[in-house]
Homo-oligomer: A and B are copies of this chain.
Amino acid sequence: MAQARLKHFGWGREGEWITPEEEAFVWTRIRERFRIDEFDEVTPPRLEQIELAPPRVQPPGSLAAVASTEHYDRVAHTYGKSYPEYVLGLAGDYSSAPDVVAYPRNEREVEAVLDWAGAAQVSVTPFGGGSSVVGGVEPRVAGHKGAVTIDLREMHRVVEVDVTSRAARIEAGAFGPALEAQLKAHHLTLRHFPQSFEFSTLGGWIATRSGGHFATLYTHIDDLVESLRIVTPKGTMETRRLPGSGAGPSPDRLLIGSEGILGIITEAWMRLQARPQFRAGGAVRFPDFFTAARALRRIAQAGLYPANCRILDPQEACNTGAGDGKSAIMVLAFESGDHPLEAWMARALECCRDHGGELEHADGTDAHRKGATGRWRNAFIRMPYARERTIQRGIIGDTFETSITWERFETFHDKIKAVTEQAIHDATGHKGQVTCRFTHVYPDGPAPYFTFHAVGRHGKLAEQWHAIKSAGLDAVIAGGGTVTHHHAVGRDHRPWYDRQRPPLFAEVLKAAKRTLDPQGLLNPGVLIDP
């Protein structure tokens, strides 16, 4: 791992930035949208400018090889990538930094760190790639004597590959690219590509119920886990490798999405796929977003299972350079490691045409690389780099994602958009922008993903962001949606999660936590009260 370190502020590794051309495009769009030319600019403190309190606890000598109290380690593990965390980071407020960061190299060392944390009464925050956008990795002491963050990055191996069953045993700290590189030698792929792919880990995906890039079928990490191992303060739990089972409630499904409150996932057997050999796809233009959504519903209920069938509303298509702002765009693609896809693509295009969709260009053509699909894909991957720049000029930009059944979607969408736009105006005094795309679709409904942008004011950014996001999430919960489809709950979504989750299930989660983590060491305050 001769890679550069992860940045202490912003997205990616040290030395990785948005290019000047990309940044120019972003500012052009922002200037057009908000009719604004002057920005107050605040720059984030350099690493050495950040002041930290001395560690409240010191790791024992037995953990010397894996535990650090170094300045960089503590700073870089204070926050994830949520908007309010960026605000704090920009202000140089790292008061919640962990006292100790441990990098265990194997499960035995994970146990050793947990044992020490229990004896020393130190809270424990599991850490994958730190790309959480919902406040999922910020440590809390919560009545304990300090805070240790356990970073799994040293456990990054693909330990075993079963080519026959298409499955691999993978350590939880493997980042996306390293994981795929190890599988590629076997002509296999996990094909789980969240936007954070480069800077997130298998364990993080499982703990947060991550959604992959693909739009249908096997994309949510839940369905890709064949079995897992988790180290809890009460011991280690391992489930069986089973293609399917009817033996009692699924143990895996209780641990998937547990966001580090029940234990530390150390490895999992993951279901893999053949690397795609056949592709068919294209970009389809629709007169408006709801018409595109109706076409997509038809495709989702047809049993065709495209790898990609995102739709972007006209404004979002425009912002990412994929459209002219007048049409909604569907990015449609089928992929297979086994067979040509003409029949699949032809039927999906029929569904589009039935709803007035026009194929802008097919994939594989020259128009493709320059067209909507390519432009959108590039913007999608590069967007997180823009955010650390825009916040410095007081732009409030964030996203929230949900899912809803089809019959409620249109009313739900309009309400959320209206309420969030109003909240932007109320909070900032200016007109903002709220756009929507679908990231995933199911036969019974879509996963709409909302992006909002507003011009905020330094010193009030956190408060303004909170007012806007709260309004949006209030509408999500009131409208029957989920507070998160794949970003997880973290600290940011907790109040709405509490309204969504059945109260008796909260009691069950608390009972599960008391059983596995009786001292309440792990991620206090995440999902349930400490």
> Which residue numbers of A lie inside 8 Å of B, CB to CB?
162, 164-167, 208-211, 220, 222, 226, 232, 234-251, 253-259, 271, 273-274, 297, 301-305, 336-339, 342-344, 347, 403-407, 440-447, 480-489, 493, 497, 500-505, 507-512, 514-516, 527
The answer on a CB contact under 8 Å between B245 and A338 is no
Do the beta carbons of A258 and B249 come within 8 Å of each other?
yes
Query: A164-B406, A274-B301, A444-B226 known; A484 and B257 CB under 8 Å?
Result: no
- Asked if A444 and B243 sit within 8 Å, CB to CB, the answer is yes
Closest to A270 in B: B444
Structural contact, B445 and A165, CB atoms closer than 8 A: yes
- CA gap between A247 and B487 in the complex, in Å: 8
CB neighbours of A243 from chain B (8 A): 403-405, 441-447
Contact across chains for B253 and A259 when beta carbons are under 8 A apart: no
Residue with the greatest number of chain B CB neighbours at <10 A, chosen from A259, A305, A343: A343
A407 touches B165 (CB 8 A): yes
Which residue in B220, B258, B444, B481 is a CB contact (below 8 Å) of A271? B444
Q: Tell me the complex Cα distance, A360–B446, Å.
A: 42
Contact, CB under 8 Å: B247 / A493: yes
Are A485 and B246 in touch, CB under 8 angstroms? yes
Counting every copy of the chain, the complex holds: 2
Across-interface contacts of A165 in B (CB, < 8 A): 405-407, 444-445
Choose among B164, B336, B403, B508 the residue that contacts A244 (Cβ–Cβ < 8 A): B403
Judging by beta carbons under 8 Å apart, are B166 and A301 in contact? yes
Instruction: Check if A504 sits within 8 Å of B232, measured CB to CB.
Output: yes
Task: Contact check, A482 vs B238: say whether CB atoms are below 8 A apart.
Answer: no
Whether B405 and A162, one on each chain, are in contact in the complex, defined by CB atoms closer than 8 angstroms, is: yes
- In Å, the complex CA distance between A502 and B527 comes to 23
Q: CB distance B245 to A484 under 8 Å?
A: yes
Say yes or no: A249-B238 contact (C-beta < 8 A), given A405-B165, A443-B271: no
Which residues does chain B contribute within 8 Å of A480, judged by CB atoms?
240-241
Can you list 19 A-B contacts (CB < 8 A)? Answer: A164-B406, A165-B405, A222-B250, A226-B405, A235-B503, A245-B403, A247-B489, A247-B493, A248-B257, A248-B501, A249-B255, A250-B256, A271-B444, A303-B337, A303-B339, A304-B338, A305-B305, A508-B512, A511-B515
Find A251's partner among B302, B446, B501, B514 (CB 8 Å cutoff): B501
Question: Does the CB pair A249–B245 fall under 8 Å?
Answer: no
